[in-house]
C-alpha cells in the first residue's frame, strides 16, 4: 500500500547537491557574472546617494523638461520632493540604482542580440523560445536558483531583474530592424554600403523608434521587479512594501507602493517622449 | 565598345540552386522545375552585351526576371551560374571589398519605389552614396547640390523626402544615382510608379541628361512605349530567358517569336519605324547625264514602263527631283520639244531623310500621289516609300501577321 509517509525520491537533496557542485566547480563563472553587476550597482548606488538630493532632483527635472516639457518637469519636481518628505529618499535611490544597472546590462546584451536576431532568421528562431520562456516563467521560479548561485542581496535582485526585463528589448530591436523596408537596405548596398554601414546608417536609424519603445518596456519591467526582488533581500522601495506586508503595517506598504508607481510614471513619460522625439525626427 | 558583357547567366531561387540549375540545363521548363522541386528559376541562360553610352532597356511581363537580371549586374543578387563582365572586370569573382568599391565607382541604382531614406533630408539622401564612400561633407554637399540642380530640384535640399510628390522623389532618387557619377546607371522600373504625364516628363529629363553626359543606362521597364521612346536597344525577357535583343526597329519588324509579337501588338509603330527601314528602290530612275537632261527620253521610258513618275538622280546617285509623265509632256509642249528636265520637276516633291520616322513622313505620304523619295544624310537617293508600303507596314505591325512586303509593286 502506498502511504507516502516517507520521501522516496530525494529530488530536493539531489538539487542541493547539484547546486553545491555547480557553485564549487564553477565559482569563477558566477564570480565573473557577479562582479561587473556588483561594480555597476554600487557605482550607481553610491553615486546617487552621495549627491545631495537637490542635485538629483534638479537633474531629473531638467531631463523631464528637455524630453517632454514643463508639465512633466513640474510633476517630477513635486513627486521627488514628496518622496523625500515621505522618508523614502534612500530607498528610492537604491531602487533607481538597481533599475539603472539592470537596464544598463539589458541594453549591453539586448541590443546586440536584437540586432543579430533582426538580421538572422536562424538566430531569431533560436532565441525566440528562450525569450518566451524568460517572459512566461514566473519570477519566483528563477529567484530560487539565482539566490542559490549568487546568495541573497541586491546583486541577485539585479540579475533576476535582467532576466525578466531583457526580452522586450531584444524582441523590439529585432522587430525594428525587420520593419525597415527591404528596398532601403537594398538601396544601401547598391550605393556601395558595407554590411556595417547598412546597419549603422540605414537599419538602426530607421529602427530607433521601435528600439526606444523596447527600452521603455524594459525600464518599466525592471521597475516592476522591485517588489519581487525585495523578497530575495534586495533593498530599495520593495523592502518597505514587503516589510509592511509581513508586519501588517499597511501604511508603510502603501507609501512604498505609491513611490514605486510615481517613479514608474516619471520614467515612462520621459522615455516615451524620447522615443517620440526620435520618431518625428525620422518622420515621413 | 561593350561595357557590360553577360554570358549564360542563371539564377535559381530556393534551397538547392545547383539541382535547379542542372534541371534547367537539362531542358526542363521553369514550371516543371517549380512543380518538381519548389525551386524558382529567376533567370536562365541570359547572354547579351551593353555598349558604352547606350540606353539598354530590359522589357518583359511581371515575373519574367527583369529585376533579378539587373540585380545580378551589381550582385545584389548572387548569380547561380554564368559570367558578368563590366569594363573588363569579372564582377562575379570580386571579393567583398572589391564589390563595395565596384558599386561605389562603377554603378548606381534607381528604384521603382524610390527607396529614399526617410530619416535623411533631400540633400543627405542625394549625398548618401558619397558619404558611404567617406567623402568629407563640404565636397559631397557640393556634388549633391550639383546633382540636384541637374534634376531641377535646387531649393529643396532641406526638405524631407516625404514632403515631395512622387515625381520629385524620383528626381531625388535619380540625383542620388547621378551624384556618384557612375559609368553605369541601373534603373529598375524607375518611372513605373509615376503617373503617365510625370513619367513622360521624366523620360524627357533622362534623355536630356543623356545628351549632356553620356552614361550607360540599363533601364528595366514593362511599358513598351517607354522602352521604344528611350531605348537604343531593347532586350525582351520571357520566363527568365532573354528572347530577343535588338534596336526597337529590328524588334518591331522582325519579332523573334509570338511572345515578342504579342508584346508589340497595339503599339503605334509610326513612332519607331523610320523611312529608311521600309524604303524600296523599285521606281524608274533617270540618270541626269547632260546639262539639260533628256525630257523626251525620260517620257519615253516612263511610257514604256507604264509608270507615272520618274526619279532624277545624278551619276553619283545624288537626288535631284521627281518628274511625272504629265510634267514632262507639259514641258515638251511649252518648249517645242526642248527644255531642261529641271523645269519638269514636281515642285512639292521634296525628299525625306531615311532617319525620319513614319509619323513624320505621314503628311507627305498622304498628300501626294507619287511615292515619296528617301535620301540619306548625303542626299544620296535610297528609294521611295509608297502609300501602299506605308499602309502595309502599319497593318503588319498592328496585326503581326507577317510578310506583306513582297506584294509591293
Ligand atoms: N528572393 C526570391 N526568392 C524566390 N523567388 C524569387 C525571388 N525574387 C524573385 N523571385 C522569382 O523570380 C522570378 C523573377 O522575378 P523578378 O522579380 O526578377 O521579375 P520581374 O520581371 O522583375 O517582375 P516585376 O515586373 O513584377 O517586377 C519570379 O518568378 C519571382 O517569383
Ligand atoms: Mg521587378
Strand order in the sheet with B89-90: B40-51, B2-13, B81-86, B89-90
Is residue B245 within 8 Å of residue B235, measured between CB atoms? yes
> How near does any CA of chain A get to the CA of B71, in Å?
9
User: For an interface test with A, which of B103, B125, B132 has the most A Cβ atoms less than 10 Å from its Cβ?
Assistant: B132
Ligand having the closest approach to the CA of B77: 1
Q: Is B284 exposed, middle or buried (0-12, 13-18, 19+ CB in 10 A)?
A: middle
pLDDT of residue A51: 92
Q: A200-216 pLDDT, tens per residue?
A: 999 999 999 999 999 99
Write down the pLDDT at residue B265. 67
B222 CA from centroid of ligand 2 (Å): 9
How far is Cα A69 from Cα A51, in angstroms, rounded to an integer?
25
Q: What confidence score (pLDDT) does residue A121 get?
A: 93
Nearest Cβ partner for A183 among B113, B131, B176:
B113
Cα gap B232→A219, rounded to integer Å: 60
Q: What integer pLDDT is reported at residue A281 of this predicted model? A: 44
- Exposure string for A103-126, b = 16+ CB within 10 A, e = fewer: bbbbbeebbebbbbbbbeeeebee
Measure the CA–CA gap between B197 and B195, rounded to whole angstroms: 6
The chain B residue lying nearest A186, using CA atoms, is B76
Please give the distance, rounded to the nearest whole angstrom, from the Cα atom of residue B118 to the centre of ligand 2.
Answer: 22
- H or E, element range at A273: helix A250-281
User: Can you say whether the dihedral through the CA atoms of A217, A222, A226, A232 is positive or negative?
Assistant: positive
**What pLDDT does residue A1 have?**
63
Ligand 1 atom with least separation from CA of B41:
12
Q: Which helix (H) or strand (E) holds A134?
A: helix A121-136
Mutate to test the interface with B, among A189, A191, A207, A208 (most CBs of B within 10 A): A191
pLDDT score, position A168: 95
pLDDT of A180-237, one tens digit each? 999 999 999 999 999 999 999 999 999 999 999 999 999 999 999 888 888 888 888 9
B112 CA to centre of ligand 2 in angstroms: 8
Give pLDDT, residue B407: 36
| DSSP three-state, residue B374 | strand
Residues in chain A closer than 8 A to B77 (CB atoms): none
B40 lines ligand 1 (CB under 6 A): yes
> Facing residues of B385 across strands?
B372
The per-residue pLDDT for B17 is 93
Q: Whose CA is nearest to atom 6 of ligand 1?
A: B13
A205 touches chain B (CB under 8 A): yes
At B398 the pLDDT is 56
CATH numeric code, A30-283: 1.10.3720.10
Please name the residue that has the C-alpha cell 521624366: B202
More confident residue, B401 or A249: A249
Dig out the grid coordinates for B182 from the structure: 557612375
Q: Which atom of ligand 1 is nearest to the CA of B240?
A: 14
Query: Which of the listed ranges A22-31, A165-174, B370-379 does the model predict with the highest average pLDDT?
Result: A165-174
Contact between B162 and A284 using a beta-carbon 8 Å cutoff: yes
Helix (H, G, I), strand (E, B) or coil at B66: helix
Answer yes or no: do B129 and A191 touch at CB < 8 A.
yes
Position of cell 547572354?
B47
Q: What are the chain A neighbours of B117 within 8 Å (beta carbons)? A: 184, 187, 202, 205-206
**Helices A70-85 and A89-119, interaxial angle, to 10°?**
130
Look at A134-143, A271-280, B250-259 and tell me which has the smallest mean pLDDT.
A271-280
Tell me the mean pLDDT per 10 residues along chain B, length 409. 93 93 91 92 95 93 92 95 94 94 94 93 95 93 92 90 91 92 93 85 88 90 84 91 88 78 68 82 84 84 88 89 90 83 88 86 84 91 87 66 39
Name the residue with higher pLDDT: A52 or A143.
A52
Put simply, the answer to whether A206 touches B118 (Cβ < 8 Å) is yes
Biggest CA pair distance of chain A: 79
The reply to whether residue B118 touches residue A284, judged by beta carbons under 8 angstroms, is yes
C-beta separation of B330 from B344 below 8 A = yes
Atom of ligand 1 lying closest to residue B68 CA = 18
B11: part of which helix (H) or strand (E)? strand B2-13
Q: Cα separation of A225 and A239, whole Å?
A: 12
Residues in chain A, overall count? 284
In A, which residues are within 8 Å of B103 by CB distance? 189-192
* pLDDT, tens digit (0-9, with 9 covering 90-100), for A42-92: 999 999 999 999 999 999 999 999 988 999 999 999 999 999 999 999 999
Q: Which residues of B touch A192 (CB under 8 A)?
A: 100-101, 103-105, 129, 132-133, 180
- Which has the closest alpha carbon to A72: A80, A81, A61? A61
Of A186, A190, A282, the CB nearest to B119: A282
Predicted confidence at residue A206, as pLDDT, reads: 94
Q: Which residues of A touch B105 (CB under 8 A)?
A: 192
Torsion, Cα A17 A18 A21 A25, to 10 degrees, reads: -170
Answer whether A201 touches B (CB < 8 Å). yes
The closest ligand to the CA of B20 turns out to be: 1
Q: Assess A121–B contact: CB distance below 8 Å, yes or no.
A: no
Nearest CA in chain A to B126: A191
Amino acid at each position: 500500500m502506498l502511504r507516502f509517509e516517507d520521501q522516496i525520491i530525494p529530488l530536493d537533496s539531489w538539487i542541493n547537491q547539484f547546486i553545491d557542485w555547480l557553485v564549487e566547480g564553477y565559482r569563477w563563472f558566477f564570480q565573473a557574472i557577479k562582479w561587473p553587476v556588483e561594480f555597476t550597482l554600487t557605482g550607481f548606488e553610491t553615486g546617487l546617494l552621495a549627491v545631495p538630493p537637490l542635485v538629483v532632483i534638479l537633474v531629473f527635472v531638467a531631463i523631464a523638461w528637455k524630453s517632454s516639457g514643463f508639465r512633466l518637469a513640474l510633476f517630477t519636481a513635486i513627486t521627488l520632493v514628496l518622496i523625500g518628505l515621505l522618508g523614502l529618499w534612500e530607498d528610492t535611490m537604491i531602487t533607481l540604482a538597481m533599475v539603472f544597472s539592470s537596464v544598463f546590462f539589458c541594453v549591453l546584451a539586448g541590443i546586440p542580440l536584437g540586432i543579430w536576431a533582426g538580421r538572422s532568421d536562424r538566430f531569431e528562431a533560436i532565441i525566440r523560445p528562450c525569450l518566451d520562456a524568460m517572459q512566461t516563467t514566473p519570477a519566483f521560479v528563477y529567484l530560487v536558483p539565482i539566490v542559490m548561485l549568487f546568495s541573497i542581496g541586491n546583486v541577485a535582485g539585479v540579475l533576476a531583474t535582467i532576466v525578466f526585463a531583457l526580452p522586450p528589448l531584444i524582441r523590439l530591436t529585432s522587430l525594428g530592424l525587420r520593419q525597415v523596408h527591404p528596398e532601403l537596405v537594398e538601396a544601401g548596398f547598391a550605393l556601395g554600403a558595407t554590411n556595417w554601414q547598412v546597419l549603422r546608417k540605414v537599419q538602426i536609424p530607421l529602427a530607433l523608434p521601435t528600439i526606444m519603445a523596447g527600452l521603455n518596456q524594459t525600464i518599466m519591467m525592471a521597475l516592476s521587479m522591485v517588489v519581487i526582488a525585495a523578497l530575495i533581500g534586495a533593498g530599495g522601495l520593495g523592502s518597505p512594501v514587503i516589510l509592511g506586508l509581513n508586519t501588517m503595517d499597511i501604511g508603510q506598504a502603501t507609501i512604498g507602493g505609491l513611490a514605486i508607481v510615481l517613479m514608474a510614471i516619471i520614467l515612462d513619460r520621459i522615455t516615451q517622449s524620447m522615443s517620440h522625439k526620435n520618431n518625428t525626427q525620422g518622420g515621413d | 565598345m561593350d561595357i557590360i558583357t553577360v554570358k549564360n547567366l542563371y539564377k535559381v531561387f530556393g534551397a538547392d540552386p545547383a539541382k535547379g540549375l542542372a534541371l534547367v540545363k537539362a531542358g526542363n521548363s521553369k514550371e516543371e522545375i517549380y512543380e518538381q522541386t519548389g525551386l524558382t528559376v529567376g533567370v536562365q541562360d541570359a547572354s547579351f552585351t551593353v555598349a558604352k553610352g547606350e540606353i539598354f532597356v530590359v522589357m518583359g511581363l511581371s515575373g519574367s526576371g527583369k529585376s533579378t537580371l539587373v540585380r545580378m549586374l551589381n550582385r545584389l543578387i548572387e548569380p547561380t551560374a554564368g559570367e558578368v563582365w563590366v569594363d573588363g572586370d569579372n564582377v562575379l569573382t570580386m571579393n567583398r571589398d572589391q564589390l563595395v568599391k565596384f558599386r561605389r565607382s562603377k554603378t548606381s541604382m534607381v528604384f521603382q519605389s524610390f527607396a529614399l531614406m526617410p530619416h535623411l533630408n533631400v540633400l543627405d539622401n542625394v549625398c548618401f552614396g558619397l558619404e558611404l564612400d567617406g567623402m568629407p561633407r563640404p565636397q559631397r554637399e557640393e556634388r549633391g547640390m550639383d546633382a540636384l540642380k541637374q534634376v531641377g530640384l535646387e531649393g529643396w535640399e532641406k526638405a524631407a523626402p516625404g514632403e515631395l510628390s512622387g515625381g520629385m522623389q524620383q528626381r531625388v532618387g535619380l540625383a542620388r544615382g547621378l551624384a556618384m557619377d557612375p559609368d553605369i546607371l541601373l534603373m529598375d522600373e524607375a518611372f513605373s510608379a509615376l503617373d503617365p504625364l510625370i513619367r513622360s516628363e521624366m523620360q524627357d529629363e533622362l534623355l536630356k541628361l543623356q545628351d549632356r553626359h553620356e552614361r550607360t543606362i540599363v533601364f528595366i521597364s514593362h511599358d513598351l512605349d517607354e522602352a521604344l521612346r528611350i531605348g537604343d536597344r531593347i532586350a525582351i525577357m520571357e520566363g527568365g530567358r532573354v528572347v530577343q535583343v535588338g534596336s526597337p526597329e529590328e524588334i518591331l519588324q522582325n519579332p523573334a517569336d509570338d511572345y515578342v509579337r504579342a508584346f508589340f501588338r497595339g503599339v503605334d509603330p509610326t513612332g519607331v519605324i523610320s523611312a529608311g527601314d521600309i524604303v524600296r528602290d523599285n521606281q524608274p530612275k533617270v540618270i541626269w547625264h547632260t546639262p539639260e537632261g533628256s525630257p523626251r527620253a525620260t517620257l519615253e521610258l516612263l511610257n514604256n514602263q507604264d509608270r507615272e513618275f520618274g526619279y532624277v538622280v545624278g551619276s553619283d546617285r545624288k537626288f535631284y527631283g521627281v518628274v511625272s509623265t504629265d510634267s514632262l509632256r507639259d514641258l515638251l509642249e511649252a518648249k517645242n520639244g526642248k527644255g531642261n528636265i529641271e523645269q519638269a520637276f514636281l515642285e512639292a516633291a521634296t525628299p525625306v531623310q531615311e532617319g525620319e520616322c513614319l509619323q513624320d513622313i505621314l503628311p507627305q505620304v498622304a498628300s501626294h500621289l507619287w511615292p515619296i523619295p528617301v535620301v540619306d544624310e548625303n542626299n544620296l537617293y535610297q528609294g521611295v516609300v509608297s502609300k501602299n508600303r506605308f499602309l502595309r507596314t502599319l497593318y503588319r505591325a498592328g496585326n503581326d501577321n507577317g510578310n506583306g512586303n513582297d506584294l509591293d509593286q
